[in-house]
Structure 1
Amino acid sequence: MLNFDEERFRKIQGGAVALAEPIRETVGELLDGGAENVYFLGAGGAGVLMLPAAQLLQRRSAFPMQLVHAAEIVLTDSAALGANSIVVIPSLSGTTKESVAVMEFAQAKGAKVIALTGHEDTPVAQGADVNFTNFAADDTSSESFYLQSLLIALAILDARGELDGDGDGGGYDAIVQELALLPDALVEVKRGFEDRAASLAEAYKDEPYHIIVGGGSAWAEAWYYGTCILEEMQWIRTRPVHASDFFHGTLELVEQGVSVLLLKSEDEARALADRVESFVPTVTDKLEVVDPASFELPGVSKGVRALITPVLLAAVLERLSAHLEVLRDHPLTTRRYYRRVEY
């Protein structure tokens, strides 16, 4: 596969899954200690990657949850954030300005901060009440953060007796056993997508604009891939739109020649994407659908597949990115303005 280190990828995703037990222990201790709510307070793309876990709690648990922009809550506050709050802060670098600020803000209010970082010797990792470091880089961090935040959500459900064994694939331990299959399985999924990634990159290399649609657990990756990869790393204009909102405005922008990338999910919201998939070909011939249901995952149950939609999408879209940067002669690390903005 183009520009891909298989063993490095396996190690990073295996490292994320290996945090299952320490995450469960930490979450259990905090809940036993009187925790009354959980806040996911990430900055930028790392914050978006927390969305599927937050959605899972919203749908399956009565435990209060909030997902808020880190920079905004520091300025606006939140009445429920306090001594009985769990705050989850993802930061790959561990140095992001907004992440440091929100950590200090939350701790000043008495909250307990769990940090998910890619580097241990950093302000966020060192300042958090509990830190989990799993080394990753830009090309591997999405799957890692999706998995770690999923484990936090599952640990909360588990501690509260809210895990539905039939719907989720089993209890916490059973789900983790299936997640442990992913480092190897995702490599094979990537391998199977490689030819299509190359074809998509050829079609997209000169495309100036994409509407990227997703619903349910696919929405986070639609937003993330459009904003943090195509816009930030390739300078390609995108319009991420939730499948629920597509027919309330965005459909009027679709005409012949307009590119639409549809990311489907395997959860209850899949019907939202089905509706978009039925309509778009009637007005443009540039619809591409990425459906995780088409990927083979031996040993992974239907319930767990529904939980890992964003992981699967991130894994295959990374292959598209690898080919795009070569065809466009635009490395994913190239930036224009970072040196002009204080982070």
Structure 2
Amino acid sequence: MMLGFNEPEFLSQLASTVALRPQIEELVDRLVDEGFDNLFLVGAGGTYAQMWPYEHLARRSSTLSVRSVIAAELIVSGDASLGERSVAIFTSVSGTTDDSLRAIEYCKAKGVYTIGFTGYPESPIAQNVDIALISEPKAWPFDQQMLLFIGRLLSRRGEFDGYEKLADELANIPQVLLEVAKQADSAASDFAEAHKDTDYHFLVGGGNLWGFTYLYSMCILEEMQWLRTTRVHSAEFFHGSLELLEENTSVIIFQGEDETRALTDRVESFAKRISKDVTVFDTRDYPLDGISPEFRGLLAPLVLDTVMGRVSKHLERVRDHSLDLRRYYRVMDY
């Protein structure tokens, strides 16, 4: 039995997200048939970072304008292209994120069609968007829903071949990721034991893993473990941040399987020349039975979320620091 791991809940929550496929496809088809000009992927903190892989996918594959935006900034800065021909997607585990809720109100006032993914149908976000697609409570991450949405959208536009095959294979994702978690657990425990007293980590990732790099650095290591971090995109590493590396610097590298892999390989090669504490978490190390080779790169954020979920649980154990402990977030008014 794995530490802090509820297997039935893990499988059930993931299954509930991919079970949204018919609703997502029906929604996308209606939007495409009616026509719209641009798509906004709106989030706050982790849900903002989790939008980046899908902005990245759209940017490299589609001529449709798709951009990720920070909810709070959108409200104060606005966006000249946001209007009645726009669609905006919001994700929230709790369905109560204040910044996102205010951004929904802002978008609706401009005539934007709003979509929400959450696990709570009675939550403020679910109640305020034009359409809410509901998974099981606490289901995370939202990558499956976003991949189905963007995949179907690009497919309808003739910009993504093989969507039906990908969507069919995503039905296997609960079992696929369960095997990932089991395989990762030992290495996760080893990493945590070795870094029990490490108070600073340097994180690097690129391509569709840059969002996860940002998320793990800020939302897990900083927010949930109160550890100091630096996070940098692998393409930007050699433009300043490399100067922070020393012989004992803990460097965490997230490596995927898309076209940006070579950029991260370059960072790994350099980092290992300087630091004796470089850890690479590579999605290529996991079989992903039932997933076709051409889709592995798209699933990198999901795979690493599962791998690092095991790391987080073991860090919680060795550091005796609950992942739920907060000093300020949703504790103080700000």
TM-score range, shorter chain: over 0.9
Aligned residue number for residue 141 of structure 1: 140
Matches within 5 A, 1:35-184: 35-137=36-138, 141-142=140-141, 145-164=142-161, 170=162, 172-184=163-175
5+ residue gaps in structure 1?
165-169
**8 Å Cα contact 1:117-1:133 kept in structure 2:** yes
Q: CA deviation at 1:270?
A: 0.3
What RMSD over aligned residues (CA atoms) do the two structures have, in Å? 1.1
Deviations 1:32-81 (A, max 9, x none): 11211100011111111111111111110111111111100111111111
Distance 2:55 2:36 in 1: 16
**8 Å Cα contact 1:54-1:67 kept in structure 2:** yes
Aligned residue number for residue 280 of structure 2: 289
5+ residue gaps in structure 2?
none
Is 1:234 matched up with 2:235? no
Distance 2:286 2:157 in 1: 32
Q: Which amino acid aligns with 1:113?
A: T
* SS of corresponding position for 2:125: helix
Q: CA deviation at 1:148?
A: 1.0
Q: Which amino acid aligns with 1:292?
A: T
TM-score, normalisation: structure 2: 0.97
Aligned residue number for residue 315 of structure 2: 324
Distance 1:73 1:15 in 2: 30
Aligned residue number for residue 289 of structure 2: 298
Q: Which amino acid aligns with 1:141?
A: W
Distance 1:292 1:254 in 2: 24
Deviations 1:102-128 (A, max 9, x none): 001001100100101121111110111
Aligned residue number for residue 222 of structure 1: 213
Shift in CA distance, 339/158, structure 1 to aligned 2, threshold 3 Å: closer
Q: CA deviation at 1:338?
A: 2.8
* SS of corresponding position for 1:4: coil
**8 Å Cα contact 2:41-2:88 kept in structure 1:** yes
Q: CA deviation at 1:136?
A: 4.2
* SS of corresponding position for 1:289: strand
* SS of corresponding position for 1:29: helix
Aligned residue number for residue 8 of structure 1: 9
Q: Which amino acid aligns with 2:55?
A: A
Q: CA deviation at 1:82?
A: 0.6
Aligned residue number for residue 167 of structure 1: none
Distance 1:339 1:314 in 2: 23
**8 Å Cα contact 1:87-1:112 kept in structure 2:** yes
Distance 1:206 1:29 in 2: 53
Number of corresponding residues: 333
Partner residue of 1:189 out of 177, 180, 190: 180
**8 Å Cα contact 1:178-1:304 kept in structure 2:** no
**8 Å Cα contact 2:89-2:115 kept in structure 1:** yes
